[in-house]
Amino acid sequence: MSESIFQFPIRVYYEDTDAGGIVYYANYLKFCERARTEWLRLLGISQSKFLEQNIGFVVTKVAMSNLASARLDDLLNVKTEIKTLKRASIIFNQQIINQEKVKLCEVEVNVACVDFNKNKPIAIPSFILGALESVS
């Protein structure tokens, strides 16, 4: 696998919207989280296995620009790519685009690899780092 941009489709359900049928802004972050998780899964990275070892990724910073609204039943595409890959952290760029190719949202997410026993950042395990380097 060497795709540098991962694309993940998401359908907007009633539960994702407010009373006016517009996607509630915080749900864009959920859509982005799902896309990042599915990309890791596609790369052979099981977050649950690393959690068993008390290792995981935590979001340390989010910058989000909402440009337009998604609505009930829209089919969205979440595009994800790695902007920066460091020894213990990753910065992802993500865009959410609707079926008319309109960019609705841009998100930059910083995540750190953490040892949950020590509650401190650690180097990303080599297996994960190698998989991420293959797509960055």
Catalytic annotation, pick one of 18, 73, 74, 115: 18
Q: Is 18 a catalytic residue?
A: yes
DSSP code for 48: H
DSSP 3-state of 89: strand
CB burial of residue 13 (10 Å; 0-12, 13-18, 19+): exposed
Q: How far apart are CA 133 and CA 86, in angstroms?
A: 10
Question: End-to-end distance of the chain based on CA atoms, in angstroms?
Answer: 11
Q: How far apart are CA 87 and CA 106, in angstroms?
A: 25
Residue spans of alpha helices (H) in 21-98? 25-42, 47-52
Catalytic residue set: 18
